[in-house]
Each structure stands twice: as C-alpha cells, then as structure tokens.
Amino acid sequence: MSRRDLVGATLSFPALALFALFAIYPGLRVFYLSLFDYSLTSPATFVGLENFRFLATDPRFHEALLNSLFYTVGTYLPALVLALMLAMALHRRMAGGGWIRLLYFLPVATSWVAISVVWRLVLHPHGLLNQTLGLDVTWLTSSAAAPWALVIMSVWKETGFFLILFLAGLSRLPREVFEAAQVDGAGAWRRFWHITFPLLKPVTAICSVMAIIRGLQAFSPQVVLTDGGFGTEVVNLFVYKTAFENARMGRASAVAVFMFFVLICVTLAQLRLFRREDA
Amino acid sequence: MPRYRHYRRLSVIAATLVVGAGMTAACGGGDGGGGDGASTGTVKLSFWTHTHPPMIDLNKKLIAEYEKSHPNVKIEYQTIPNTEFGTKMLTSLSTGAGPDIINMDDNALRGEYIPKNLLAPVDPAGFGKSSAAEIEGGYVPGTLDGAKDAKGTLYGVPSEFNGTAFAINKKHFKDAGLDPSKPPKTWREVVEYGKALNKAGHKQAFNFLYLHSGWYSQWFQTLANQTGGSILSEDGKTPALQSPGTKAAMNLWVELARTSGIADPKTSSRDATAPYQDLASGTQSMAIVYPWAMEQIQQSNPDTYADLAVVPLPQADPAKPVSRVYGYFWAVNNASKQKTEAWKFISYLASQHDRWLSDVSFVQPVTDWQSSEPAKKTPFIDVIAAAYAQGRYDQVGPHWNEVQDVIRKAVDEAVFDGRPVDDVLKEADESVRRSIG
C-alpha cells in the first residue's frame, strides 16, 4: 500500500467507523433479533425460526405485503411512464422549460409528511379533488378508495423524481444518431422505440430499481393519511407497529430481514433483466 | 513529504474527534429518567404528559409553585402529541429511558406498563403516609383499580377519573321541535331523535369519534358493557368477539353510525390532536363525552358550550344502566433514580384536586369530592357522579395495542365498508386469538 493510499484509508476511517456503528451493526443486530422473542423489557428468548413461521401464516402480514405490492405497482409504474413522457417533452429547449421542470420537481423536494397533510384536505369528501372532478368519493375512509388515494397522491409526488433522472439520461444521448435516423425517414415513434428507449436502458434500470425500493419502503403517507386503515397498512408500517406499538422486536426484525432478501432478489432480477436485454 | 505528514496529523485528529463524539453520543443517551443532580445538589425530575391545553396550563402553574417551594427541585415538563404519546412513552420506558414521572391512562398501565415492570409501586413516604392502603383510604373505593396489578399493588394516583356521559345541543333540539329537558334515554331514542334533527337540517345528529385505535376500543367497550359483550373471556385467555353480547354491540354501532342514516361517519373529523371538533363547532348535535371534553369546548367554543347540556349516557337497557370509566394516573418510572422525590411532586399535584376540577374539569375521586366547592359549581357534575356509580373499567389483556388495532379494523370494515358484522367479528376473533395466544 502506498503512502497516498494509507492517507486515503486513514481519512475514510471516521466515516467508515460511523457507518459501521450506525448502519452495519444495527443491520446485523436485526438479523440476530429476528431469531428471538424480544419485547425490550425482558431478556430475549431464542426461538429459532418461529418468528418467520408466524409471519408465514399471519393474515395481517400477508395483507400488508399485498398492500405494499399494490402501492408499489400502482404508484411507480404510472410514475415511470409519466416521467418518461414528460422528459421526452421537456428535454428540448423551450421557453419556460426550466420553470416547468422546477414545478415538477417541487413535490419531490417537499417532505412526505407536509405533502400528506395538504392532501388530507385535497382528499376530504368536500375537498378539492371531489369538487374539481364532481365526484362523491370518500377517499380516506373506504377500503375501496383509500389505496387508490395514496397511489394518486404518490404518483403526483414521485413523477418529478424520475423526470429528473430521465432528463439527465436524455441529455447524454448522442444527437447524430437521431439526426441520421431522421434523415433515413424514421418517424418520432420509431426514433423513440428503436433509439431513445434502448439507449435509455441504463437509466430505466436505475429508475426501476429505485422505484421498487421506494415503493416497498413507503411509510409516511400511510401514517399521515390513514394510519394504515382501510387496506393501506404497508409492510413498513406493519414493522413500525409491531416493533414500537406492540413491542414485538423479534417479529418486527423478522419482517425486516424478509424484506431485505425480497429487495435484494428483486433488485438483482431487475438488473439481470436489463443487462440481458442490453447484451 | 511534509504535505503527507500534515494530512496524517489532520486525519488522526479528525478520526479522534469523530469517533469520540460518536461514542459519547452512543454511551450518553438516556440516563434512566433524569440526572440525579448529585454534583449540584439540584434534583431534576422529568415529567411527560399528552396534549390537552387546559391540563398543560395547570401543570405549568403547579410546577412553578412546586419549584418555588422546593428550590432544589427542577422539573422538566414535556408534552407529546396525543397520536405519538403512547408509542413514545412505551418505547422510552422499555429501553430504560423515559421520564421520571408519567401521566398515562389505565388501559396502558394495566395492559402494558405494569405487566412489564416499567412502573414503580407507589411510595407512601412520598405522600407522607405509612402505607399504600392509607393513600387508598383517601379515595372513593374502587377508583384506584385502574392502576393496580392482579395482586392489588398500587402503581399510581389519578390525575383524572372520567365517567361517560352524553352531550346534546339544546339549540339543535329546539330547531327540531324536541324538548332538551327530555334527552334520549336509549340508543333507540337517539336514532329517533337523530331523524328529527336531520329533518331540521342538522345532518350530523350523532357520531362516534374515529381518531385512533384506543378511541375505537373505548367506544366498543362502552357499547359492549351495555349489551353484555366483551372482547376477551372473563379469564382473559380467549377472545369473545363472537359472543351474542359482543355481536349486539357491533350491530348497535353499525345501526347508529351507518344504517340509521342519522349522520355520515365519513365526514366525522378525525384529528386526534383536537377531539370533539364537530360538537364544539356546532356541527354535531349529540355525542358521547367526558368531563374534560366539556371544559375544552368551553374554552375553545364558548358560544357552542352555552348551547350544550350534559345528560346521562343512553342505554341499551335503561333498567340496567351501565357506563364506562377510565382514568389517567400519575406514576413513576421504575428506572427513575429519584423515585421518592418524584412521588413527593406527584403528591403535590394530587393535593390540588379542587383546582383540577375548577380549572380543567378533571375529577380526582378523593373521598367526598362531590361536596367540594368546585364540584358544587360544576353544572353537570351530578350526571358525571351518577356515571361513576354505574361505571366499570375497560377490560385489558396482553398485547392490548394489537387487540385495539383489531377492533379498529373490524369497526372500519363493518361501519365504513358495510361488511357483515358476523364476518368481520369472526376474522377479528381469530386475529385476537393470534395476538394473545
């Protein structure tokens, strides 16, 4: 190791130490706790895989998984498609383009809690959404509507995040390819489908991985808007209630471990899918 | 070379500072309920309550008075929003942190804190008494049961003892041609009166408050007490949600909130930080209330308060009136390093029972509380006193927060989604079995 490397390693030590203390250790501790029955107040009792067995047959956990899945697909599929469409429209230079991008990004920069509080008013039976659309839907107090209410709000909030990523990707595409295709008579749709979309695959891969992670880690809007009622108790909210309201730390840790592996598997599958199609 | 030496020195200093700061933060958090102040001779006590403006005001006054008469005592008072209060308190107490003094409801005390040994038994010395029995002798018999374990050990004294009553808006009644001096005595009459109120334009005749699981559970137990139902069996070991009495309670809730059509539960205010908004704003005509709610409305909406009357809780069977009581108790963290000092302060708070009644409408059920001057001046105190006589504490059991979540889900599905009561209670029964099993 050169002296320069040594200095670099030394300088990185404080950050690594903090990371180990506040990220690696708690993470490992969760794995450990998932094998115990632990309520904070009494010594942890080793139960092996009992927490996982319980979850495998727990209807409430199954419902939370389905709710998370619905929220993730319902929110992030439209958000990604919308973001790509908007990016295609906005990446060309146009008057006020910067302002329009900023407007789309504003919800991303605002906290989930603040946005959720505002949307509580929007989604009230006599709120803006019903009045504007002439509807009579009780968005937050019905199992049929509440999951959709969260999806609508989240699509509105999250589209801007992916818009920025797609815009960054589009700005790096080589112009000459598009010019050549245009000269060859390729229309706008063919240019998008055969050139833009394939070239954007690395960005799309990142966006889809982030979308799945963000979707499965959702928590704040469900807490603020419905507190998990009416079919909106997602996995992270289930973990929170299990751990901190019901003091079942072992069971909550088991869910966290399970979701860790789910996320790892889904992410690897996504990356592999994009890599294979890319090859 | 000198440049590298400079970097090395800098990196060592930085590493030492950062790791040192991290270790200090990691090791220094949570002193088990306030420092002991031994080095300065000052006793620091931490005290947490939920948010209820009139209560907070009086707490601040009493703290100032106590600190003035006890210059060596410093009390750090913290209020926590109602929606976070239970979670934050349970988590902090469970980890050995948390305040020296807590103020918490009997459900949490009996369901979570006492079974988990998070609280210290009452220290008679703090009250200047020789035994817990002597302290108990100063209260109406049975009213301290909300802070006892199965063996009868006492863990707190009440800051408020609430009976359940019913509020009606006299103006709305007159608008509908109803006589406010003849309030509904049964739930059947509540529906009949509600229809008359609807015709007079008061569309929210009667509503429950749908704030969080604890509120759902308390309404459910209020109704179940009257219909002969319960959440758990008598021995607390099995769920009883499919018993006829419990089904009757849920059916009654569905009828009052949904099928009778006397109000739309979906438009009910659900802001837990300010309950009773609809009654206070004059939107709602009838509501189940507690003494503190009336004080809160008097302060926030005096005009509406003038239109309200507090009457006995309607019954399923008026021949056998049953009510629900609950209490908040001052108690001491078992991890506190200064328990006796904490009990001394609690003793002072408890000694001010007349002010709690006059300023906050909190009844502290000391012997002969009804003959106190503030009680005589409280307009509806006779109704509350009668409710105490008919009242019973809620049933609680292991993992009670989970059970309350189950009740909430069942009510949401039956009342808001319109699912059949039998189906939701069958699922709820199974969920409770898994929780307590």
Q: Are residues B306 and B221 in the same domain?
A: yes
- Domains of chain A, by residue range, sit at 3-51, 56-275
- Candidates A25, A39, A40, partner chain B, best to mutate (most B CBs within 10 A): A40
Mean pLDDT of B232-244: 93
Q: CATH number of the domain that B192 lies in? A: 3.40.190.10
Q: Which residue of A has its CA nearest to B114?
A: A41
Q: Is B14 domain-assigned?
A: no
**In Å, how far is A243's CA from the nearest CA of chain B?**
9
Tokens read off for A133: 């659309």
Chain B CB contacts of A125 under 8 Å are 266-267
- DSSP string across A77-127: HHHHHHHHHHHHHHSS--TTHHHHHHHHHHHHHS-HHHHHHHHHHHTSTTS
Q: Is pLDDT at B2 greater than 80 in this prediction?
A: no
Q: Across the strands, what pairs with A101?
A: none
**CA atoms of B48 and B328, how far apart (whole Å):** 13
- Within 8 A of A22 by CB-CB distance, chain B residues are 22
Give yes or no: residues B295 and B423 share one domain. yes
Q: Give the pLDDT score at B206.
A: 96
Q: Is residue B256 domain-shared with residue B351, that is, in the same domain? A: no
Tell me the shortest Cα–Cα distance from A76 to chain B, in angstroms: 27
- B12 located within any domain: no
Over residues A73-118, the pLDDT tens digits come to: 999 999 999 999 999 988 887 778 788 888 888 999 999 999 999 9
Q: Mutate which of B409, B413, B423 to disrupt the A interface (most A C-beta within 10 Å)?
A: B409
pLDDT of amino acid B379? 83
* Matching CATH number, A56-275, of 3.40.50.720, 1.10.3720.10, 2.40.50.140, 3.40.50.10420: 1.10.3720.10
The answer to whether position B7 is within a domain reads: no
Taking CA atoms, A272 is separated from A96, A216, A245, A258, in Å, by 39, 20, 39, 21
pLDDT at B53 over 80: yes
Give tens-digit pLDDT for A216-252: 999 999 999 999 999 999 999 999 999 988 889 999 9
Which pLDDT tens digit goes with each residue over A170-211? 988 998 888 898 888 888 889 999 999 999 999 999 999 999
Residues B100 and B143 occupy one common structural domain: yes
Dihedral angle, C-alpha B139, B140, B141, B142, nearest 10 °: -90
Dmax (CA) of chain B: 97
Whether residues B194 and B340 share a domain: the answer is no
Residue B261 lies in a domain: yes
Shared domain for B169 and B262, answered yes or no, is yes
Residue in A143, A245, A248, A249 to test binding to B, most B beta-carbons within 10 Å? A245
How does residue B11 score in pLDDT terms, banded at 50, 70 and 90?
Answer: very low
pLDDT over 80 at B25, yes or no: no
The number of angstroms, rounded, from the C-alpha of B343 to the middle of its chain's C-alpha atoms is: 21
Tokens of B69: 């008469």
Query: Is B105:B332 a contact under the CB 8 Å cutoff?
Result: no
Which tens digit of pLDDT belongs to each residue from B276-294? 999 999 999 999 999 888 9
For residue A144, list chain B residues with Cβ-Cβ distance below 8 A. 417
| Other beta carbons less than 10 A from residue B20's beta carbon | 10
Classify residue B420: in a domain, yes or no. yes
CB contact under 8 A, B94 and A4: no
Interface confidence (ipTM) of the complex: 0.86
Res. B380: pLDDT tops 90: no
Q: Is the pLDDT of residue A43 over 90?
A: no
Residues of chain A with C-beta less than 8 angstroms from the C-beta of B267: 125-126
A17·B112 Cβ contact <8 A:
no
Tell whether B178 and B300 lie within a shared domain.
Answer: yes
Residues B116 and B205 in one domain: no
> B298 and B206 in one domain?
yes
B376, B392, B408 - which closes a domain: B392
Could you tell me if residue B155 is inside a domain?
yes
* Interfacial residues of A (vs B; Cβ cutoff 8 Å): 3-4, 7, 10-11, 13-15, 17-18, 21-22, 39-42, 58-60, 125-126, 138, 141-144, 227, 229-230, 241, 244-248
Q: Do B416 and A144 touch (CB under 8 A)?
A: no
Contact A141 B416 (CB under 8 A): yes
- B236 and B379 belong to one structural domain: no
Q: Which long-range contacts (CB under 8 A, 24 or more apart) does B11-19 make?
A: B11/A7, B11/A10, B11/A11, B11/A13, B12/A10, B14/A11, B14/A14, B15/A10, B15/A13, B15/A14, B15/A17, B17/A14, B18/A14, B18/A15, B18/A17, B18/A18, B19/A14, B19/A17, B19/A18
Q: Which domain holds residue B196?
A: 165-324+396-436
Tell me: do B212 and B288 sit in the same domain.
yes
Quote the CA–CA distance of A89 and A59 in Å, as a whole number.
Answer: 45
Q: Which long-range contacts (CB under 8 A, 24 or more apart) does A226-230 make?
A: A226/A140, A226/A146, A226/A150, A227/B212, A229/A141, A229/A146, A229/B408, A229/B409, A229/B412, A230/A140, A230/A141, A230/A142, A230/A143, A230/A145, A230/A146, A230/A147, A230/B412, A230/B416, A230/B417
Average pLDDT over residues B11-23: 37
Q: Do B416 and A230 touch (CB under 8 A)?
A: yes
Average pLDDT (B184-207) is 96
Instruction: Tell me what percent of the residues of chain A surpass a pLDDT of 90.
Output: 75
Q: Out of B8, B18, B405, whose CB is closest to A10?
A: B8
Predicted local confidence at residue B435, as pLDDT: 92
Taking CB atoms and an 8 Å limit, are B117 and A41 in contact across chains? yes
Question: Do B417 and B280 share a domain, yes or no?
Answer: yes
Answer whether residue B231 is part of any domain. yes
Q: Phi/psi of residue B163, each to 5°?
A: -100, 160
What single-letter amino acid sits at B374?
P
Percentage of chain B surpassing pLDDT 90?
A: 69
Quick check: is B25 in a domain? no
Q: Residue written as tokens 């509904």?
A: B184
Distance CA B276, CA B288 (A): 10
The rounded mean pLDDT for chain B is 88
Residue B9 has pLDDT above 90, yes or no: no
The tens digit of pLDDT for each residue in B300-356 reads 999 999 999 999 999 999 999 998 999 999 999 999 999 999 999 999 999 999 999
Question: Average of pLDDT values for B182-209?
Answer: 96
Q: Domain total for chain B?
A: 2
